[in-house]
Structure 1
Amino acid sequence: MIAHVALPVPIFKVFTYRIPPPLEPFVQVRVRVRVPFANRSLIGFVVGIEEEKEECPFTPSDIREVADLEPLVDPISFDLCLWAARHYCVSPGLALKTSFLHGSDLERYLVVGAQGDDPLGVDGLRLKRAYTLVGKERVWEHYHQGLFRVRDVFTGESLKQKGPSVSVQRFSAKLFVSQAESRREYYLSMAAPLLESGSNVLILLPDRGLAGGYFHRFFEEKLGERVLYFGSHMPAKRKGEVYFRTRNQGGYLVIGTRSCLFLPTHNTRLIIVERPEDDGYRNDQALQFDGVALATKLAELRGVPILYGSVSPPLDVMKGVEEGIVESIGGEPVTTKPVEVAAVKRFRIGQSPPQELMDILAEGLSRDERIVIHTPLKDYAARLYCLSCHQSILCPVCESAVSFRKDDNRLVCWKCGRQFPYHERCTHCGSELISFGSTGAEYMEEHIRSAMADASVLKITGETVRSKKDIGQLMGLVGEPRTIIVGTRVLSKLYEVGPIGRLILVGWEDFMRIAGYRAREYIRQTYCNLIDALRPAKVYLLTTGKAREPEEVLTMNDEDFYSQELERRKTAEFPPYVRLFLLKIDSSNRPAALSAATRLRGLLEAYGIGDNIVGETVRPGEKGHLAILLKGRESLLDGLLPELTRVRHLRIEADPPWV
């Protein structure tokens, strides 16, 4: 017998291994096995088993060890991972490894129970303890002969997977557009009857902090112990408990971030996605997936309804509404506010904030209001460049743009996230004449704190609300009158802060540079979510006047915005009507990168994909950086993926959000 094994390597294929006769009773599809690979020993998943063929052109190596007593990935999660591997151009082994992080050490929570006599004397012992006393092979032999039963310590249920539950429903997609308070009440009304019947409901949240906490606390208050939260940050024991309870039991509301999509949730009858437009659903690990797309596919595989809840849905969902694939079921849409627009000069380092901003703040503080200022950038400044040689200051590792963080005098790379000391001189010519193109929340906080000494000024960005302690401390401060809050998009998740006196939008023309083809959609979603969370009495937009899009987008109604934006994307042949694929070559050796780039271009032409190239960049410098953007149908790269494996230094990003 031979097994086809998916290994966690960046090669778009599965590998064939021989199953030694002693291991044949234990090898099943979906179990993990240890195999030799290129002078290493790797653990991969068995994706297929068949009889060994005499005409096999090579002699397969033997599987060395079987890692799992029973498959710990359920059939639907397994199929979801294989679909994700194809959809996001990732090897199946890497996709399966990413999905299995929650179950890497589940054996510690398993107990052996003898079925009658106990010839090995291991009845009631933890499985790992039984391995130590009598050996793993003897335990497995007795288990597969039916002499032992293995159960988990949380539910007492057998490790052997139950058969899939038969759904009396079928896949459907619905959209509920309403304010956050109404959305959570609607979710509860949909979930409660299903929980009473013993079914499970899965709710996907964009984060575990502000927005996630707002919904989590509400459901715990209403449903108590019926709520199971799952997240990658949890202690191992709690992860194990949630895994086995969702695998074996029903009547739970399972809520969490994108990692909970791979739980083997038994008898699921509904999947809910809160704020599907949020970028928190985008995973940046080996498997770069969009959690909303995976949730939709999961609902299809399980044959259950999916419900999207939002105040400003993403365009791909609205395209589904337009085409009749997604049913819009109403709600109470957020009431947008008239926006007062003021033209100001661009904020520059060394200059005071515009007088128009100071006048708006002074008027609000005179009325003891709480004021929120939103800016797209979080650091002190961005877009650093030399006034002498006119070169941009770039990351020394990946040669990407950097921003300046003043509180610790460091540069932060936008792409790779690395940080470096700032020496106040050009890395190209040594000049000290460095200019900053844009300012951010850190700059705004410093200057407003200096100008408004009698007000409480707080900065809220993703870095300041990383833990429950951080969130608790901030919540204790933001409720005070005469408070000015400066921050980024995370402000749109402060549901328990509103209503506020006034919301001021500063520097929103930067969205047109940052967000690429999604800029108008991103502006609309950020604005609507800010209004939903903060409920301001007045809204101000301070613009330099060079970019009119922010003002135009903010003053449109929902129907006009979505119809016009979908038509723009359709005419330009951009998502959601086609898919984008970003092929990137990064190497510290420029000649090697150029050689890889030549090979890549040749492959694209040979497979007839050359006409699908819509953009190409080669970054100057000593290192080699090439990016090619393709657009086309879903299966554009299917036949080419195995060949792309042979292109060194190549990384593929499907559906890149920032182009």
Structure 2
Amino acid sequence: MGYVDLVIENKSRHTDDLFTYQTDRDLAPGTIVKVPFGRGKALKTGYVFRTGVTPAPELAGKIRSVAEVDPDLSMTEEMVETAAWMRQRYGITYVDAVHCFLPPKRGSARGKKKEPYKDAVGEIQEIHRLTEEQQQAVRRIGDAVRKRERKIFLLKGVTGSGKTEVYMQAIRRTLEEGRSVIILVPEIALTDQIIRRLIGRFGKQEIAVLHSRLTLRERYDEWNRLRSGEARIAIGARIGVFAPLPHIGLIIMDEEHESTYKSDQTPKYETVDVAAKRLMAENGVMILGSATPSVVSYQRAKEGIYELIEMNRRYNATPLPEVELVDMREELRAGNNGIFSSRLYQEMQRSLSAGKQIILFLNRRGYATFISCRSCGEAMKCPECGISLVYHKRENALICHYCGKKFPVPRVCPACGSREIRFAGRGTEQIEELVKQAFPDHPSARLDLDTAKNTREIRKLMTSFAKGRTEILIGTQLVAKGLDFRNVGLVGVLAADVSLNIPDYRSAERTFQLVTQVAGRAGRGEEQGRVIVQSYTPDNFALRAAARHDYEAFFREEILIRKLMQYPPFTDLIQVLFTSEEESLAVDTAGRCAAWLEKAKLPNARRILGPKPDPNFKGQNSYRHDILIKCPRGNRNQYIYYLRYFRQKLVEAGTACQITIDVNPYSMV
């Protein structure tokens, strides 16, 4: 008879702990069992976290026994270790961490078995001679894979430099070593192109796809293919980092700077850190690829935490596109109130006449970005979320981009009764309409979350553009992320100020990345491309650096600001959210927590900001306030420990206020 510590499947925060059970079986960490728990007769699911436990002598006769063992499903010891680490690092519960590693419940995954990429045809690309920069990158990464070095490489390569081929070579070498691979992409839209290349290189049987848009049955089947070893390459969005692969030798994060790698839903985790943790047990290699690395990643490379590999030339030796900044203030002075500057309009005409394709980028979907009353100034907002509603002409409705609810367009102002309702701001839907009016003989299409609701629609749009049937593609940031179209001669950034004016410490970084990435879609064939960036603040340092393709200049200026203001990478930001049906209770609990942390004399405790209302909150009949902690590097776990302790005391006291911890949130506006 032996003893094990279990995590019990239970949503109550009272049970976020380990519970000891006795068993006559030889159970390994990660084994899934059924046990009696609480007063009810129904058995609960448990997960073995520790074995060989020695209980206190006075408890020996009171400990209950494991009733059943799941013969089909289990976690590996590495998964258990990572789940425990996530709980400590992010302040989440054991159960939330465990669920990351499990497939959908088998009962919910019924239905006809399907392949999520059954229509995908392998793209057999001729393997050209590698450039000198590619050879050096492949050699260094390949050596680390072969020697089983625990390494993180930051592969900083300009757009079109051939980073994907470096990935392919690294994957091949990892598979030859008998190990498995995880490939992460920031958007589901990007999986199709790379899946085709992987199938062409390694065969369909080696590949399994994991992302949130798969049906439950598809996710369950793909999970099983990975767990059984039938597939050795997992590809997906951020949830792919939890793929149940044995012997992981390589994890690739393409476009590592993208915000989607940070989970904004419970459990709130950072994909890059989870990936690094998983590789620690395997002595594996990670590649972080980007033309515009995050400031945090680049600083880590400067400090030697990551190993930097640079690829500064495009594969085909074509020069990077020429970028021109257009001052929209001058356009207004010249009497042009339209969305297209005279320079952009001229270049669009020239490109189309030359048989080249065009990408127009605007990071706002919808037709009009807000609707308001001219008489009283009332802006139409979602009654539940408090967020401005966006007018969508195709549906003739106001839509909340937070909760998705639709509302009829009002004939009169709900506040004052005036009929002076006006539409303001432009989104991609309106740009599409203007393009069709200006260039009726040139087919155009729109790529945003309204038109690309599933992978089939995305694939259809991409194929049409790739084959030249669509000449002008209008889109949000989906068009900026890693797409490779050879005939794009012109890219127009219609409103670079959209991301620049977001009240967030990362606004300059986001702007530099977006402009650089979308500019990189131009001139990927044999001829140099051209980019027109429209802005009302063309002298901004991030825009100037992006126009010169000068990441170092951007980084030098941005890192000084971060250090002065004590933002990451010099600190960790911890946002603590307090949610209650009583606003006074949310405010009071947040204030007590901030005061308690200051009394604990934690490092930098005087730099706690707030409490304040959380502008992102979209709850119904409840209120949320938050505090923000600028935590010195190296002290994060200490803060998380105290916050979890404070939260547990609230639970024990029955306080009707929920506390959520978000480490390094990507958006705080």
TM-score scaled by length of structure 1: 0.79
Give me the whole-angstrom Cα distance separating, in 2, the residues matched to 1:321 and 1:12.
Answer: 42
Contact map agreement 1:180 1:311 (CA 8 A) in 2: no
Partners of 2:577 and 2:627 within 8 A in 1 = yes
User: Do structure 1's residue 227 and structure 2's residue 206 form an aligned pair?
Assistant: yes
1:486 is aligned to 2:478:
no
The answer to whether the 8 A contact 1:205-1:275 is kept is yes
Counterpart residue type for residue 664 of structure 2: D
Give 1:147's aligned residue: none
The letter of the residue matching 1:447 is L
2:626 alignment partner in structure 1: 627
Deviation of 1:221 (Å): 0.5
Alignment partners' CA distance in 2, 1:519 and 1:415: 20
CA distance 1:385–1:595, shift in 2 (3 Å): farther
- The residue number in structure 1 matching 2:103 is 101
Question: Paired residue for 2:88?
Answer: 86
Secondary structure of 1:650's counterpart equals strand
SS in 1 for 2:630: strand
Matched, 1:576 2:579: no
> Using the alignment, how far apart are the partners of 2:275 and 2:504 within structure 1?
25
Following superposition, the deviation at residue 574 of structure 1 comes to: 0.6
Aligned to 2:255: 275
Which residue number corresponds to residue 172 of structure 1?
Answer: 151
- Residue 69 of structure 1: SS of its match in structure 2? strand
> Mind listing any 5+ residue stretches in structure 1 that lack a counterpart?
109-165
1:204 equivalent to 2:184? Answer yes
**CA 250–576 in structure 1, closer or farther in 2 if over 3 Å, else same:** farther
Residues in 2 aligned to 1:430 and 1:51: alpha-carbon distance in whole angstroms: 73
**Following TM superposition, by how much is the alpha carbon of 1:474 offset from its aligned partner in structure 2, in angstroms?**
1.5
Q: Determine if the alignment matches structure 1 residue 323 to structure 2 residue 303.
A: yes
Question: Does residue 215 of the first structure (1) align with residue 194 of the second (2)?
Answer: yes
Secondary structure at 2:74 match in 1: coil
Equivalent position to 2:606, from 599, 611, 619: 611
The residue number in structure 2 matching 1:543 is: 535
Distance 2:263 2:487 in 1: 32
In the TM superposition, what are the counterparts of 1:31-46 in structure 2 within 5 Å? 31-32=31-32, 33-36=34-37, 43-46=45-48
Change (3 A) 1:480 1:302: same
**1:638 corresponds to which residue?**
641
Q: Is the 8 Å Cα contact of residues 8 and 97 (structure 1) preserved in structure 2? A: no
Instruction: Give a deviation string over 1:377-410, Cα, whole Å, max 9, x none.
Output: 1122335555444455433223234433332233
Shift in alpha-carbon separation, 1:212–1:38, aligned structure 2, 3 A: farther
Structure 1 CA distance for aligned equivalents of residues 171 and 581 of structure 2? 53
Q: CA deviation at 1:577?
A: 1.9
Q: Measure, in 2, the Cα distance between the counterparts of 1:372 and 1:456.
A: 12
TM superposition shift of 1:106: 12
Identify if the C-alpha distance between structure 1 residues 194 and 605 changes in structure 2 by more than 3 Å, giving closer, same or farther.
Answer: closer
**Cα 1:63–1:254, aligned 2, differ >3 Å: closer, same or farther?**
same
When normalised by structure 2's length, the TM-score is 0.78
Quick check: 1:12–1:641 contact (8 Å CA) kept in 2? no
Cα deviation, residue 35, structure 1: 4.9
- Cα 1:551–1:567 change in 2 (3 A) is same
The match for 1:654 is 663
Are 1:585 and 2:578 counterparts?
Answer: yes
Quick one: which amino acid aligns to residue 175 of structure 1? Answer: L
3-state SS, counterpart of residue 516 of structure 1: coil
Contact 1:336 1:528 in 2 (8 A): no
Residue 517 of structure 2 is aligned to residue 529 of structure 1: yes
Per-residue CA deviations over 1:400-457 (Å, capped at 9, x if unaligned) read 3443333223334344444444435555555554555632211211223233333322
What do the CA deviations read for 1:86-142 (whole angstroms, capped 9, x no partner)?
Answer: 22221121111132135757999xxxxxxxxxxxxxxxxxxxxxxxxxxxxxxxxxx
Identity %: 20
Measure, in 2, the Cα distance between the counterparts of 1:107 and 1:61.
Answer: 35
After TM superposition, give the deviation of residue 321 of structure 1 in Å.
1.3
Distance 2:459 2:594 in 1: 53
Q: Is the contact between residue 517 and residue 658 of structure 1 (CA under 8 Å) also seen in structure 2?
A: no
Residues 264 and 665, structure 2, Cα contact 8 Å, conserved in 1: no
Residue 500 of structure 2, aligned match among 512, 534, 549: 512
**What does the per-residue CA deviation read over 1:338-379, in whole Å, with 9 as the maximum and x for residues that have no partner?**
3222222699xx975355254443444344432211111112
1:75 Cα deviation after fit: 0.9
Q: Which one of 44, 47, 50 corresponds to residue 48 of structure 1? A: 50
Candidates 341, 344, 353, aligned match of 2:328: 344
Contact 2:597 2:642 in 1 (8 A): no
Q: Deviations over 1:212-253 (max 9, x none)?
A: 222211121111146312314446666556545544548933
2:307 maps to 1:291: no
Q: Is the 8 A contact 2:368 2:425 kept in 1?
A: yes
Supply the distance in 2 between the matched residues of 1:255 and 1:428 (Cα, whole angstroms). Answer: 50
Equivalent residue, structure 2, for 1:130? none
Distance 2:177 2:452 in 1: 38
1:53-132 alignment, distance < 5 Å: 53-55=56-58, 62=64, 65-66=67-68, 68-69=70-71, 72-101=74-103
The aligned amino acid for 1:88 is Y
Please say if residues 326 and 341 of structure 2, whose CA atoms lie closer than 8 Å, have aligned partners that are also in contact. no
Once residues 447 and 591 of structure 1 are traced to their aligned partners in structure 2, the CA distance between those partners, rounded to angstroms, is 49
Alpha-carbon distance between aligned partners in 2 of 1:426 and 1:649, rounded to the nearest angstrom: 37
Deviation sequence 1:454-481 (CA, Å, 0-9, x none): 3322111134234343133223432437
Gaps of 5+ in 2: 111-144
Asked if the contact 1:369/1:482 (under 8 Å) is kept, the reply is: no
Q: Distance in 1 between matches of 2:272 and 2:584?
A: 40
Whole-Å separation in 1 of the counterparts to 2:393 and 2:607: 43
Rounded to whole Å, the distance in 1 between the matches of 2:614 and 2:170 is 52
Alignment match of 1:563 (pick from 522, 540, 556): 556
Whole-Å Cα distance in 1 between the matches of residues 155 and 358 of structure 2? 30
Residues 85, 420 of structure 1: alpha-carbon distance in 2 compared, 3 angstrom cutoff? farther
Residues 274/244 of structure 1: CA separation in 2 closer, same or farther (3 Å cut): same
Q: 1:615 to 1:438 in 2, by over 3 A?
A: farther
Is it true that 1:477 corresponds to 2:480 in the alignment?
A: no
Number of aligned residue pairs: 596
**In structure 1, C-alpha distance between the alignment counterparts of 2:20 and 2:214, rounded to whole Å:** 38
1:353 aligns with 2:339: yes
Deviation at 1:318, TM superposition (A): 0.7
Contact 2:444 2:474 in 1 (8 A): yes
Confirm or deny: 8 A CA contact 1:312 1:529 kept in the other structure. Answer: yes
CA distance 1:35–1:523, shift in 2 (3 Å): farther
